[in-house]
A and B are shown apart, each in its own frame.
Chain A
Amino acid sequence: MKFKVKFIINMKHIIIIISSILFSTLFYNQQIGLNISIFSVLTVIILAVSNTHKFKNKTTLLYIFIYLLTAALVFIQYTNLSILANIIAFLTLIGSVTESKSSIYVQWYNGIYTSIVGYFHRKFIKQNIKDEDETQKKAIDVLHITKLIGIPLIFIIGFIVLYKNGNPIFNDIISKINFDFINLQWLLFTVLGYYLFSNIFNPVQVDSATNIDLQTGNTLRKSETFSIEALKKEKQLGTILLLLLNILIVFYLATDIISLSTINSTHASVLSSQVHSGIYTLIASIIIAIIIILYFFRGDLNFFKDNRILKNLSYTWIFLNAVLVILIATKNYNYIASFGLTYKRIGVNIYLFLTLIGLITTLLKVSKVKNFWFLMRINTRIAFGFLILFSIIDWDYSITKYNINHAPSLDLNYLINLSDNNAVLLNEYRESTNLNTEQNNRIFTKHLDYIKTVNNRNWQEFTYSNLKLKKLLKKL
């Protein structure tokens, strides 16, 4: 039995050492590319070796799929969003291996904790659990070894420095000692890899947060003692407040619809100000709406028999806010139709979409008598899903393609300033159109730089664009 445990511990160290050498080979002095994909596969293998029983869980299997998908996306798309999605998928997977039943935000918490400090957590557990004598024995051994290495080293370095100044021949010999053949930075990078892999080998959890999360359900419970009189007063307050807010938002929407139908400006500044002022209104409106609804439906008012009017007013308030979202989306659509896509305009659309989902989940919370944690759980899960979904799209390429083909007013300088993912597309556009000399040169230089960068990549930095370029050069 003892031999078996020792064998497993040794195997663990061998696996981590091999992985850390691979880590250095993949990442030391390299840009992101194929290395992220290989690292992701390596991480999954290590987790599978050390946590085999947890790999039968469906949630964990789903997160493995998502993690590997984002790793493939980094190789194919090579966008910042796909790299961010890959990091978050990594943390989610680690958190899921720790405790698959916890909420996704607790999984992120556990994932971050494990990745940055799992080794120290296990050290703390070991030092407090191990048999006292055994710990003491080991502590003495470690201290002795440290003394054996440290003290002579300090004295030798000290005396070398002293003797150097006293004897020129000794000084010459010492000065000729060259440690350049050892790449210390590579070694330190390998140690970093060892630390990371030893952290994730056996994922750890933040007990307090995980336990509270597992004990907290999604449904609200009726408290045993509550005052009907107090609930009646709260219902009255809620009804009046929501009624007035509904009237106000109806009035605002009516004026907004009138202004949308009367203003027919194609000036960028007018459309931009319309969208942005609408967005600020929307941000304030939605946040206040959700806070008000959460406040009134935080407890026993959900179980109060006479709460029908308050509930209906809340649904109306949510519906009217959804109409506000649609109105701003229309303004944003007009803006995009006239001036093409930009990151800000896409961001507005994404924000509107997520807001709409936030309103729907708030509606679900009220109708199904759920608590605040239900909202947190479902909204963070949806946000994670959309992050993965949006990372599938190569935005720079899509923006360029859309603007070239559909935008009546093309801002070419904006497209040139985007990442190299649109370099080939812009070059094709340059060859087919008569541009001014400055823009022509900028696109030509961008394309040339792109080809140079792609061609100079090491195998660790390869992306799908390397394969595409290879095909293109073969054709030529």
Chain B
Amino acid sequence: MHILSNIGKSSLLAASIFWIIILSDTFNWDMAPYIFLSLIPIYVICALTILITICPIFWFLENDNYSKQRIFKTYFPIYTIIAFVLCAYSIYKSSFDVFALSFYASAYITTTQSWVWFAKKKRK
């Protein structure tokens, strides 16, 4: 499992989704520096989320008899439904505020895609 590459790709994906939603609401050229600066907190949040919520599932369960693909098929549905409910509830509680919407939408899509990357078979 390439954790660093996964976190890197996830951070770029999260930043893209986050800023596309924010910029669809208010577009301003002056925001450009913040887009680059935001990569740092986004990377930290992505790393923490992936390391705390996804990696342990693979670390503790993966063995010779229990492949990554099987772990994905069993635990991904539960993880993704819980994540969806939490994100949707948080968006609803924020009264569909653009910042909350972009934060939780990017968090949900990124963690979901991150699972798919983790469960990819290694090429020989």
Residues of A near any B CB (own CB < 8 A): 109, 112-113, 116-117, 120-121, 123-124, 127-128, 132, 136, 157-158, 160-161, 164, 174-175, 179, 184-185, 187-188, 206-209
**What are some 10 contacts across the A-B interface (CB < 8 A)?**
A113-B77, A116-B80, A121-B76, A124-B69, A124-B116, A124-B119, A128-B120, A128-B121, A157-B32, A209-B77
A117 and B80 in contact (CB under 8 A), knowing A128-B69, A184-B24, A208-B74?
Answer: yes
Q: Are B24 and A120 in contact (CB under 8 A)?
A: no
B29 in contact with A175 (CB, 8 Å): yes
Give the residues in chain A near B20, CB-CB below 8 Å: 184, 188
Residues of chain A lying within 8 A (CB to CB) of residue B121: 127-128
List residues of chain A with CB within 8 A of the CB of B25: 185
Contacts of B119 in A (CB 8 A): 124, 128
Q: Which of B21, B29, B84 interacts with A116 by CB under 8 Å?
A: B84
Interface residue total, chain B, C-beta cutoff 8 A: 28
Q: A109-B77, A120-B113, A121-B76 are in contact. List 19 more A-B contacts (CB 8 A).
A: A113-B77, A117-B76, A117-B84, A117-B112, A124-B69, A124-B76, A124-B116, A127-B120, A127-B121, A158-B36, A160-B29, A161-B29, A161-B33, A179-B27, A184-B23, A184-B24, A185-B24, A206-B77, A207-B73
Bound Cα distance A116, B24 (Å):
23
Distance, CA A132 to CA B123, complexed state (A): 7
Answer yes or no: B72 CB below 8 A from chain A CBs: yes
Number of A-B residue pairs at CB separation under 8 A: 64
CA A136 to CA B120, docked complex, whole Å = 12
A120 and B112 form a contact (CB under 8 A): yes
Structural contact, B24 and A188, CB atoms closer than 8 A: yes
**Given A109-B77, A132-B123, A136-B123, A120 and B116 contact (CB-CB distance below 8 Å):** yes
CB-based contact A188/B21 at 8 Å: yes
Q: How far is the CA of A120 from the CA of B120 in the complex (A)?
A: 12
Query: How far does the Cβ of A338 sit from chain B's closest Cβ, in whole Å?
Result: 38
- B81 adjacent to chain A (CB < 8 Å): yes
B103 CB–A CB distance under 8 Å? no
Contact assessment for A161 and B32 in the assembled complex, using a CB-CB cutoff below 8 Å: yes
Which residues of B from 50 to 94 have beta carbons under 8 Å from A? 69, 72-74, 76-77, 80-81, 84
The interface residues of chain A lying within 8 Å CB-to-CB of B32 are 157-158, 160-161
Inside 8 A of B24's CB, which chain A residues have their CB?
184-185, 187-188
Does the CB pair A174–B120 fall under 8 Å?
no
Selected from A121, A132, A174, the residue in CB contact (under 8 A) with B29 is: A174
Residues in chain B within 8 A of chain A (CB atoms): 20-21, 23-25, 27, 29, 32-33, 35-36, 69, 72-74, 76-77, 80-81, 84, 112-113, 115-116, 119-121, 123
| Contact residue among A113, A128, A175 (Cβ-Cβ distance under 8 Å from B81) | A113
Contact across chains for B81 and A112 when beta carbons are under 8 A apart: yes
A124 surroundings in chain B (CB, below 8 A):
69, 72, 76, 115-116, 119
Kindly list chain B residues whose C-beta atoms are within 8 Å of the C-beta of A123: 116
User: CA separation between A167 and B84, bound complex, in Å?
Assistant: 47
Which of B74, B77, B116, B120 is the most central at the interface, judged by chain A CB atoms within 10 Å of its CB?
B77
Whether A208 contacts B29 by the Cβ 8 Å rule is: no
Report the 10 A-B pairs with minimum CB-CB distance, sorted nearest first.
A184-B24, A161-B32, A206-B77, A117-B80, A116-B84, A185-B24, A113-B77, A208-B74, A124-B116, A120-B112
In whole angstroms, how far apart are the Cα atoms of A136 and B122 in the complex?
11
Chain A residues within an 8 Å CB radius of B76: 117, 121, 124
Chain B hits for A207, CB < 8 A: 73
CA distance A316 to B32 in the complex (A): 74
> A121 to B21, alpha carbons, bound, how many Å?
24
CB distance from B115 to the nearest CB of A (A): 7
- Interface centre among B24, B27, B73, by most chain A C-beta atoms within 10 angstroms, is B24
CB distance from B104 to the nearest CB of A (A): 13
Residues of chain B within 8 A of A109, CB atoms compared: 77
Docked CA distance A245–B36 (Å) = 70
Q: Which chain A residue lies CB-closest to B16?
A: A150
Q: Min CB distance, A5 to chain B, in Å?
A: 23
- Which chain B residue has the least Cβ–Cβ distance from A209? B77
* Most chain B beta carbons < 10 A, residue from A113, A116, A164, A185: A116
Report the Cα distance A136→B112, complex, angstroms. 22
- With a cutoff of 8 Å between Cβ atoms, the chain A residues found around residue B36 in the complex are 158
Min Cβ gap B122→A in Å is 11
Q: Is B81's CB under 8 angstroms from A116's CB?
A: yes
Q: Given the complex of chains A and B, what is the CA–CA distance between A209 and B81 in angstroms? A: 14
- List residues of chain B with CB within 8 A of the CB of A160: 29, 32
Contacts of B120 in A (CB 8 A): 127-128
Report the minimal beta-carbon distance from A94 to chain B, rounded to whole angstroms: 14
Contact present for A164 and B72 (CB under 8 Å)? no
**Contact check: which of A120, A132, A164, A185 meets B115 at CB < 8 Å?**
A120
Residues of B within 8 Å of A209, CB to CB, are: 77
